[in-house]
């Protein structure tokens, strides 16, 4: 690289190049600990964001490894020879507080991509993450709905019968309180608020704790729907790096609390984070809850995917670690695990619960009753538990099969996460790859993907993409993954693989 080209690189890339050269010269030895983020900020007179970007870039390039609660260490370069795929890429680059997004607005960018995908003639969607109907026990669901309508013949015509209870059916509230208790959450039935899916719950939570112009910390990368909600409420997004091993960077979050007085809320998906699939360790969860309590910030927990976690021990939600102060706002939906068509969820807003109830009634009034009764009856029943276990087993089989296809067909240098549950894989391809270009090329072939730029306000994940693992891996899916891999290889000037 020429001096002029090097000078044009972002500061974090120039600093990373200096450290990479030092490692190549053995000035920094394998196993040696890197300076802390604070030390890097002091030594180079750079911001938190620049220091973190430098470390994450070095980790992504294979020069460093992160050890939870210890720091970054120099990796042995010889251990990387011949490695094309790794389980845990670093895919989290922070954004400067208040930095301008790459696009006019994330809503505009996402809307354009979604609309383009809707208008195309698509025969295979590996972008969306809702399981197809055939993976659910629709006969049992239909029988339950029919029976409930027979038992409550006026259920669909009683619009105001539950007004005194703010639209929350007592049976649903009791069932959710029992369901939460099994996960270690202690909540009174009267403090259960029914919601239409999880998007409404998170939107209500943010509206209750923040005002226009306030800042919200989110994981990076994060689900694009959350970015849309934050922007629609006229709030600022602060993207905090998210590790595939431990989740949200607590060091970066604490520094953000110290430097951003308008940081009022943190939104996290601690179990099977979307799109990385991270499972946050329990010790990390406890530190996160304590950190938000110390700074008086609302901690909004999206537990949409906890039911998909495979194996043991049982999931421990952040809300189970909450104190009597009620700093955690808990949100859970059953769209993907029980019945996508119902869009039924619930929340408990801790010390903000009264305000959330008021906002809910002002904005959308009552949540439809039928969905509440269906969930109340089915959730935790032996029939639903068997159905959920079958769904998880099928998703695991599909996820592993998709991972094998990626390893076989995608470009050399591709990295992917392989989570312990969930609905998708997150891929990071080599530098120079454009997921936006692949999105367009794939649509021309009738295949829809989710480009990485949808999962950040800044366009930092252009080299990444999310692949849904919701379809059984048949000949059509294999052919589609082979085609996607060939198009990605062509972009990078590599010969098709497999």
Task: Give the structural domain span for 458.
Answer: 106-133+388-491
Q: Looking at the structure, do residues 295 and 351 belong to the same domain, yes or no? A: yes
Specify the pLDDT at position 288: 97
**pLDDT bucket at 82, cuts 50 / 70 / 90:** very low
| Closest C-alpha to 379, from 182, 238, 203, 185 | 182
CA pair distance 39, 46, nearest whole angstrom: 10
Would 99 be classed as within a structural domain? no
Specify the pLDDT at position 3: 42
Specify the pLDDT at position 65: 85
- How many separate domains does the chain show? 3
Q: Looking at the structure, do residues 227 and 239 belong to the same domain, yes or no? A: yes
**pLDDT bucket at 355, cuts 50 / 70 / 90:** very high
Domain with 64 in it: what CATH number? Answer: 1.10.10.10
Specify the pLDDT at position 92: 41
Number of helices and strands (H, E) in the chain?
16, 16
Would 407 be classed as within a structural domain? yes
% of the chain surpassing 90 pLDDT: 59
Structural contact between residues 59 and 90, judged by C-beta atoms closer than 8 angstroms:
yes
pTM of the model as a whole = 0.81
Would 210 be classed as within a structural domain? yes
Mean pLDDT of the chain: 87
DSSP per-residue letters across 122-151 = -SEE-S--SPPGGGS-HHHHHHHHHHHHHH
Q: Looking at the structure, do residues 323 and 180 belong to the same domain, yes or no? A: yes
Would 88 be classed as within a structural domain? no
Q: Looking at the structure, do residues 184 and 159 belong to the same domain, yes or no? A: yes
Domain with 234 in it: what CATH number? Answer: 3.40.640.10
Query: At CA 89, angle to CA 336 and CA 79, rounded to 5?
Result: 140
Query: At CA 386, angle to CA 471 and CA 337, rounded to 5?
Result: 50
Tens digit of each residue's pLDDT (9 = 90 or more) over 376-401: 999 988 999 999 999 999 999 999 99
């Amino acid at each position: 690289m020429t001096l002029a080209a090097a000078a044009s690189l972002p500061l974090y890339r120039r600093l990373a190049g200096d450290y990479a050269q030092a490692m190549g010269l053995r000035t920094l030895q394998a196993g040696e600990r890197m300076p802390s983020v604070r030390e890097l900020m002091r030594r180079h007179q750079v911001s938190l964001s620049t220091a973190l970007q430098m470390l994450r870039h070095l980790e992504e390039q294979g020069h460093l490894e992160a050890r939870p609660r210890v720091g970054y260490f120099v990796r042995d370069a010889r251990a990387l020879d011949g490695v094309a795929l790794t389980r845990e890429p670093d895919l989290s680059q922070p954004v400067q507080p208040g930095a301008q997004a790459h696009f006019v607005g994330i809503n505009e960018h996402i809307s354009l991509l979604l609309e383009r995908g809707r208008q195309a003639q698509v025969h295979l969607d590996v972008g969306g993450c809702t399981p197809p109907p055939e993976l659910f026990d629709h006969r049992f669901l239909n029988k339950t709905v029919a029976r409930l309508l027979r038992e409550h013949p006026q259920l669909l015509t009683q619009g105001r019968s539950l007004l005194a209870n703010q639209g929350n059916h007592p049976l649903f509230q009791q069932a959710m309180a029992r369901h939460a208790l099994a996960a270690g959450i202690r909540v009174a039935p009267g403090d259960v608020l029914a919601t239409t899916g999880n998007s409404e719950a998170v939107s209500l939570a943010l509206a209750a704790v923040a005002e226009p112009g306030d800042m919200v910390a989110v994981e990076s990368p994060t689900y694009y729907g959350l970015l849309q909600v934050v922007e629609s409420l006229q709030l600022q997004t602060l993207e905090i790096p998210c590790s595939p091993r431990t989740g949200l960077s607590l060091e970066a979050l604490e520094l953000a609390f110290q430097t951003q007085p308008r940081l009022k809320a943190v939104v996290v998906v601690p179990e099977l984070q979307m799109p990385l699939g991270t499972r946050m360790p329990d010790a990390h969860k406890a530190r996160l809850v304590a950190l938000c309590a110390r700074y008086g910030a609302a901690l909004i927990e999206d537990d949409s995917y906890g039911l998909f976690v495979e194996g043991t021990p049982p999931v421990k939600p952040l809300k189970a670690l909450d104190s009597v102060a009620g700093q955690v706002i808990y949100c859970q939906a059953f769209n993907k695990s029980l019945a996508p068509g119902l869009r039924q969820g619930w929340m408990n807003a801790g010390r903000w619960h009264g305000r959330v109830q008021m906002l809910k009634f002002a904005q959308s009034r009552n949540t439809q009753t039928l969905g509440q009764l269906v969930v109340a009856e089915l959730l935790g029943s032996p029939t639903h538990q068997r159905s959920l276990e079958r769904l998880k087993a099928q998703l695991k089989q599909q996820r592993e099969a998709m991972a094998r296809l990626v390893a076989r067909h995608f470009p050399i240098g591709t990295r992917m996460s392989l989570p312990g549950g969930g609905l998708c894989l997150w891929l990071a391809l080599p530098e120079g790859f454009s997921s936006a270009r692949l999105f367009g090329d794939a649509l021309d072939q009738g295949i829809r993907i989710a480009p990485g730029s949808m999962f950040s306000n800044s366009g930092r994940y252009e080299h990444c993409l999310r692949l849904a693992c919701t379809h059984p891996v048949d000949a059509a899916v294999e052919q589609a993954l082979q085609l996607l891999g060939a198009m990605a290889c062509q972009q990078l000037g590599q010969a098709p693989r497999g």
